[in-house]
Amino acid sequence: MDVNVGVIGYGYWGPNLVRNFAETEGAGALWCAESQPDRRALAQRRHPCATVVEDAQLIMEDPAVDAVVIATPVSTHFTLAEQALRNGKHVLISKPMAQTAAECQQLIDLAQQNDLVLMVDHTYIYTGAVRRIKELLTTAELGDLYYFDSVRVNLGLFQHDVDVIWDLAPHDLSILAHLVPDMPREIAATGADHTGSGHVDVAYLTLHYENSFLAHCHLNWLSPVKVRRVLVGGSRRMLVYDDMEPSEKVRVYDRGFQVTTREGMYNTLVDYRTGDMWAPKIETREALTLEVAHFIECVRFRKAPLSGGATGLAVVRLLEAASASLKAGGQRVAV
* Domains of the chain with CATH codes: 3-124+287-306 (3.40.50.720), 125-284+317-334 (3.30.360.10)
User: How many Cα atoms are found within 13 Å in the side-chain-facing hemisphere of 272?
Assistant: 2
Contacts 24+ apart (CB under 8 A), 206-209: 207/176, 207/318, 208/184, 208/332, 209/180, 209/182, 209/184, 209/185
Strand, coil or helix: 91: strand
Distances (CA, A) of 118 to 2, 78, 201, 278: 18, 12, 31, 38
Q: What is the pLDDT of residue 260?
A: 57
Residues with Cβ within 8 Å of 103's Cβ and at least 6 positions away in sequence, in order, are 77, 78, 97
**Tens-digit pLDDT profile for residues 31-62:** 999 999 999 999 999 999 999 999 999 999 99
Per-residue burial over 267-290, b if 16 or more Cβ lie within 10 Å, else e, is eeeeeeeeeeeeebebeeeebbeb
DSSP code per residue over 160-171: SSS-HHHHHHHH
Q: What is the pLDDT of residue 262?
A: 57
Q: What is the pLDDT of residue 330?
A: 97
- DSSP H helices, the chain, are 14-23, 37-46, 57-61, 77-86, 101-113, 128-138, 164-179, 287-301, 309-327
Residue 310 has pLDDT above 80, yes or no: yes
Fill in the amino acid letter for 238: M
User: What pLDDT band is residue 160 in, cutting at 50, 70 and 90?
Assistant: confident
**Tens-digit pLDDT profile for residues 292-304:** 999 999 999 999 9
Q: What is the pLDDT of residue 275?
A: 75
Task: Tell me the pairing of strands 67-70 and 3-8.
Answer: parallel
Residues pairing with 255 in the sheet: 274
User: What pLDDT band is residue 258 in, cutting at 50, 70 and 90?
Assistant: low
Strand, coil or helix: 148: strand
**Confidence (pTM):** 0.93
Helix, strand, coil percent values for the chain (each to nearest 5): 35, 30, 35
Number of H helices, E strands in the chain: 9, 15
261 within 8 A of 267, measured Cβ to Cβ: yes
Mean pLDDT of 264-277: 64
| CA dihedral angle for residue 65, residue 66, residue 70, residue 76, rounded to 10 degrees | 80
Handedness of CA 279, 282, 288, 291 (dihedral sign): negative
Backbone phi and psi for residue 320, each to the nearest 5 degrees, phi listed first: -60, -45
Whole-number Å distance between alpha carbons of 178 and 291 = 15
Residue 123 has pLDDT above 80, yes or no: yes
- DSSP H helices, 210-286, are none
